[in-house]
């Protein structure tokens, strides 16, 4: 888990919470201790072996809860042990002694800990975790986390899209968990409650919600089946002696009861095979037997009429079937389409937009191996993997300043941007532009985040400079800062020549500044549908010479080509 995803912090906080809950509700047992103590020790050691985590496994506040509970469970275990040894009177004396001394020590330790934790600005929590605890935190302080679409809070339709029927079954499952509240079901309740909260804060934590929702709705379904089949069984055994029932119904219900019988037999068989589990099973059976007897009595009271229970069974099965159909559809349509190859259906068949791979293949084969490519960080991993080139920032967003530097460059005027990129040893700048074919998630739409993230670190970039009356626009009403920034220029360079007007199909407007020239960048490659545009930084020497030329005379510009070739060799006159 630690190797794959940073979301492991959820689990290492959830388990201590459960343990704490068990202790508080007086459910402490040696089993709990045996399960938890090795988990913390081994889990922390193993997590520390993962390079990304390393000493974070003991340093950051996310892991603090597990250690705290680790201490508490030891104390509690010790107390129980003492309680077993000493007589009740002696125990009381010991408790008073230990509590008075222990409290003093604890206070001191806690004070030190709090002082330590409070000394760090984020209180030892990483930005992402803090934004989970306080949903408004990210938008206030770290725009880089808020900028990611999957870090936004989800909408209600997305809940129904993702978990569909389960949204209704989950509450029923929670109720079913409470009916007899055991250790396990309390964990499930805790799991679903926390995951619902977290998924409400970030869309992508829907991943955490999904298994919890599946488990609880599974419990709900099994309870419902239990009730319905039980009542059918009861009605049939009652009815067979009294009245005649339709043959079809009896056959179906007997089949069901048979399957039930098979199900109940199975655990017994496994219990025979594995003696270690046998004792547990026995315990449970002993525990359950009185409850089942009680249930049987209840059933007699709560038995539903035969027809309604059969119909509702069928409905439940139908519901499940529809849910499966929905899941297959959602997996195929929403989650399987690669975002790198886009397709559109038109009257003359399927049209493929393979522009991303076109650009990456071009970078891979036609640039130097050591060339560095700057782009917004969304395309970092893709460029690294597909184009095999070094990137300045990538999807591993750990270095906020670095991303802010690129954001600043993109939102600066050309010359300042050139200087930033040159200082980063960048050779090519890659921008994604959807204005020609109407691809909405392009860099112009992401641009405000670049301004915000850049402005967060470099205060001379101010968001209001890019907004006209609080509105983000790129048409003739746009601010001059916006129309002169690098991102605008790289996206719309010579765009007006395609249709004569410069109509942007994503923003549905004509662009503000149509005819302009690039002085510090040159177009290196543009893909077939203009979705990816790659620009090359002009070399500095040439630029300076161009300047001096301009001041002297214009005629020298015609003879620039042989001179340019001369600049490749360093100092040909020496």
Partner 1 sequence: MEAPIRAREALGFILFSLLFSICRSSSLNHLLISNAERRIDLSSHIVKVYLTLKVENAGSTPTSEVLLSFPPTQADHLATVEALVTKGKRKKTTLVRLDVKATELPDAPNDAKYFTIYLANPLKSGESTTIEVLYLLTHSQEPFPAEIAQSESQLVYYRDSALILSPYHIKQQTTFIKTPSTKVESFTRVEPSNRAGTEIKYGPYEDHPPYSFSPILIHFENNSPFAVVEELVREVEISHWGNLQVTEQYTLVHAGARHKGVFSRVDYQSRPTLNGASSLRYLLARLPPRVHSVYYRDEIGNISSSHLRTDSRKSELEIEPRYPLFGGWKATFVIGYGLPLQDFLFETSDDRRYLNFTFGCPLLETVVDKLTVKVVLPEGSKDPSAVVPFPVEQHLETKYSYLDVVGRTVVVMEKKNLVPAHNSHFQVYYTFKPIFMLAEPLMLASAFFLFFVACVAYLHIDLSIRK
Q: Which residues sit at the interface with partner 1, rule CB under 8 A? A: 341, 352, 354, 357-358, 360-362, 364-366, 385-386, 494, 497-498, 522-528, 530, 565
| Contact status, residue 227 vs residue 234, Cβ threshold 8 Å | no
CB nearer to partner 1: give 57 or 524. 524
Q: How many CB atoms lie within 10 A of CB 539?
A: 14
Q: Give the whole-angstrom CA distance, residue 446 versus residue 451.
A: 9
Nearer to partner 1, 403 or 444 (CB): 444
Question: Radius of gyration over alpha carbons of the chain, in Å?
Answer: 33
Pairing of the two strands 428-432 and 372-374: parallel
Q: How far is the CB of 371 from partner 1 (least distance, A)?
A: 15
**Sign of the dihedral through C-alpha 450, 452, 457, 461:** positive
Q: Which is nearer to partner 1, 360 or 377 (CB)?
A: 360
In the three-class reduction of DSSP (H, G, I as helix; E, B as strand; rest coil), residue 573 is classed as coil
Q: With respect to partner 1, which residue has the nearer C-beta, 167 or 340?
A: 340
For partner 1, the closer CB: 278 or 357 = 357
> In angstroms, what is the minimal distance from the CB of 565 to partner 1?
8
Residue with tokens 């409470």: 178
- Between 196 and 391, name the residue whose CB sits nearer to partner 1: 391
CB atoms within 10 A of CB 57: 21
Is 393 within 8 Å of 402 (Cβ atoms)?
A: yes
Residue 124, classed as helix, strand or coil, is coil
For the bound state, the minimum distance from the C-beta of residue 362 to partner 1, rounded and expressed in Å, comes to: 5
Strand partners, 344: 351
Residue 93 C-beta: closest distance to partner 1, Å: 50
Min dist CB 318 to partner 1, Å, is 40
Kindly compute the dihedral angle of the four CA atoms of residues 475, 480, 486, 492, in this order, to the nearest 10 degrees: 30
Residue 535 structure tokens: 């620009």
The whole-angstrom separation of Cα 155 and Cα 531 is: 29
Give min distance, CB of 533 to partner 1, in A: 8
Q: In whole angstroms, how close is the CB of 361 to partner 1 at the nearest point? A: 4
Query: Closer to partner 1 at the Cβ: 445 or 560?
Result: 560
Rank residues 128 and 489 by Cβ distance to partner 1 and give the closer one: 489
Separation of alpha carbons 328 and 213, rounded Å: 17
d(CA 162, CA 167): 9
Nearest distance, CB of residue 492 and partner 1, angstroms: 12
| SS3 sequence of 445-514 | HHHHHHHHHHHHHCCCCCHHHHEECCEECCCCCCCHHHHHEHHHHHHHCCCHHHHCCCEECCCCEECCCC
Shorter beta-carbon distance to partner 1: residue 402 or 564: 564
> How far, CA to CA in Å, does 518 sit from each of 36, 239, 530?
63, 89, 18
Quote the DSSP letter at residue 353.
Answer: E
Judged by beta carbon, residue 74 or residue 528, the one nearer partner 1 is 528
Min separation Cβ 403 and partner 1, Å: 25
Find the shortest distance in angstroms from Cβ 304 to partner 1: 44
């Amino acid at each position: 888990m630690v190797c794959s995803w940073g979301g492991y912090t959820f689990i290492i906080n959830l388990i201590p919470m459960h343990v704490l809950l068990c202790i508080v509700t007086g459910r402490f047992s040696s089993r709990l201790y045996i399960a938890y103590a090795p988990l913390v020790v081994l889990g922390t050691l193993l997590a520390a072996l993962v390079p990304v985590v390393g000493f974070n496994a003991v340093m950051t506040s996310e892991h603090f809860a597990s250690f705290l509970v680790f201490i508490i469970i030891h104390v509690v275990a010790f107390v129980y042990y003492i309680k077993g040894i000493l007589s009740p009177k002696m125990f009381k004396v010991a408790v008073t002694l230990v509590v008075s001394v222990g409290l003093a020590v604890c206070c001191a330790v806690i004070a030190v800990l709090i002082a330590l934790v409070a000394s760090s600005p984020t209180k030892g929590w990483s930005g992402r975790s803090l934004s989970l605890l306080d949903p408004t935190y990210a938008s206030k302080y770290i725009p880089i986390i808020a900028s990611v679409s999957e870090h936004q809070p989800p909408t209600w339709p997305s809940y129904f899209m993702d978990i569909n029927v389960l949204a209704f079954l989950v509450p029923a499952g929670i109720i079913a968990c409470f009916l007899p509240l055991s250790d396990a079901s309390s964990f499930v309740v805790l799991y679903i409650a926390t995951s619902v909260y977290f998924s409400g804060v970030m869309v992508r934590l829907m991943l955490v919600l999904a298994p919890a929702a599946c488990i609880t709705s599974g419990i709900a379904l099994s309870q419902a089946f239990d009730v319905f089949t039980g009542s059918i069984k009861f009605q049939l055994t009652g009815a067979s002696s009294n009245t005649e029932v339709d043959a079809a119904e009896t056959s179906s219900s007997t089949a069901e009861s048979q399957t039930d019988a098979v199900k109940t037999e199975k655990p017994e068989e496994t219990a025979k095979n594995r003696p270690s589990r046998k004792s547990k099973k026995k315990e449970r059976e002993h525990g359950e037997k009185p409850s089942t007897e009680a249930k049987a009595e209840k059933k007699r009271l709560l038995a539903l009429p035969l027809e309604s229970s059969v119909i509702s069974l069928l409905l439940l099965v139908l519901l499940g079937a529809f849910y499966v159909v929905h899941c297959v559809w959602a997996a195929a349509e929403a989650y399987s389409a690669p975002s790198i190859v886009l397709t559109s259906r038109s009257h003359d068949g399927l049209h493929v937009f393979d522009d991303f791979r076109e650009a990456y293949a071009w970078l891979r084969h036609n640039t130097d191996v050591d060339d560095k490519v700057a782009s917004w960080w969304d395309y970092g991993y893709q460029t690294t993997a597909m184009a095999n080139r070094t990137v300045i920032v990538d999807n591993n967003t750990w270095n906020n300043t670095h991303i802010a530097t690129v954001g600043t460059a993109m939102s600066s005027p050309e010359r300042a941007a050139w200087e930033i990129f040159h200082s980063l040893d960048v050779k090519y700048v890659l921008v994604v532009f959807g204005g020609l074919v109407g691809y909405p998630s392009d860099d112009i739409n992401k641009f405000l985040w670049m301004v915000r993230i850049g402005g967060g670190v470099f205060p001379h970039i101010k968001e209001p400079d890019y907004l006209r009356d609080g509105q983000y626009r790129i048409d003739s009403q746009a601010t001059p800062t916006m129309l002169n920034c690098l991102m605008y220029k790289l996206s719309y360079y010579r765009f007006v020549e395609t249709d004569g007007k410069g109509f942007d199909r994503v923003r549905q407007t004509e662009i503000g500044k149509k005819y302009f020239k690039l002085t510090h960048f040159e177009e290196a490659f543009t893909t077939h549908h203009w979705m990816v545009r790659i620009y090359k930084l002009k070399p500095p020497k040439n630029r300076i010479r161009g300047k001096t030329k301009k001041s002297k005379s214009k005629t020298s510009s015609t003879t620039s080509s042989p001179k340019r070739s001369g600049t490749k060799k360093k100092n040909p006159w020496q």
